[in-house]
């Protein structure tokens, strides 16, 4: 498939994990891709491996850094059609031990950072022929209680923001029905447990992954490519009449985690 031929996508947190898989998938489908990440070496290496790509340092906690990345996207490619907002920060700190600094360390990049990127990208997305598309990486944590209060609250905020933005920037509310462009679709994916370096960097994390696999009805944890496939769908014209939704990509975790356990009916 070449669903993104001639289009430009900006992916934040794109140097590794889910963001990397999204960038690779969009590039494989024809997009020019901007790899935006604070890990500049990894971003540059990924960009060099893709057909048409640009690596940009981008710290989503810094409005100026975000604005520079968006400006560089437009300078290089002349347009922005797809934004994948993918940065999120979590920790194992218990709520009672979460002081203001720790709360901000998780919530600022995860929620406010996503809004900074969307705000900076919005004017260009509104100019995209046929309408722009934003896909945010939320989490099952934003849908149900899986622990991590600060991170979960931030992801729930992302989910609700996508709903509100979908209404505010749909064509009906902007009076542009029938016109070419002038609106943006806003959707999110909610991954379950995904095999990324957060889990695979040590033996304890790998053991946790094995345990988590048993809790997912499909019998395995996710792969970054699983999430990228859903992101590509929501960003594409195949989802042209879909906006304001959050798609769980979780191997069934949110609909019945216990049913897969031994003794389940």
As annotated, the active-site residues are 151, 155
DSSP string of 12-48, one letter each residue: ET-SSHHHHHHHHHHHHTT-EEEEEES-HHHHHHHHH
Which token pair is 235?
């960003």
Rounded to 10 degrees, the C-alpha dihedral 111/115/118/119 comes to -170
Residue reference for tokens 């100019």:
127
- The Cα-based distances of 209 to 13, 73, 144, 204, 251 in angstroms read 22, 37, 19, 9, 14
Residue 183's nearest CA partner among 111, 135, 136, 134 is: 134
Residue 253 CB partners (closer than 8 Å, separation 6+): 140, 192, 193, 215, 216, 217
Mapped onto helix, strand or coil, the DSSP state of residue 253 is: helix
């Amino acid at each position: 498939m070449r669903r993104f031929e001639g289009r430009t996508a900006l992916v934040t947190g794109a140097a590794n994990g889910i963001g990397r898989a999204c960038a690779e998938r969009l590039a494989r489908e024809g997009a020019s891709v901007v790899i935006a990440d604070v890990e500049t070496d990894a971003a540059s290496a990924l960009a060099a491996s893709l057909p048409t790509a640009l690596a940009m340092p981008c710290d989503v906690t810094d409005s100026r850094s975000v604005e520079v990345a968006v400006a560089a996207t437009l300078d290089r490619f002349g347009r922005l059609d797809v934004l994948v907002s993918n940065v999120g920060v979590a920790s194992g700190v218990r709520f009672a031990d979460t002081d203001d600094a720790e709360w901000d360390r998780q919530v600022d990049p995860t929620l406010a950072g996503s809004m900074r990127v969307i705000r900076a990208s919005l004017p260009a997305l509104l100019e995209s022929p046929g309408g722009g598309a934003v896909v945010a990486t939320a989490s099952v944590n934003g849908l149900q209680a899986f622990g991590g209060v600060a991170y979960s609250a931030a992801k729930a905020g992302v989910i609700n923001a996508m709903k509100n933005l979908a209404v505010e920037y749909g064509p009906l509310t902007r009076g542009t029905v029938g016109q070419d462009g002038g609106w943006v679709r806003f959707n999110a994916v909610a991954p379950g447990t995904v095999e990324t370096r957060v889990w695979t960097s040590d033996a304890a994390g790998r053991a946790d992954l094995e345990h988590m696999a048993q809790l997912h009805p499909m019998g395995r944890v996710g792969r970054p490519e699983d999430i990228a496939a859903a992101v590509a769908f929501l960003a594409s014209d195949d989802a042209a009449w879909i906006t304001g939704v959050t798609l769980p990509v979780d191997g069934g975790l949110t609909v019945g985690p216990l049913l897969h356990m031994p003794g389940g009916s």
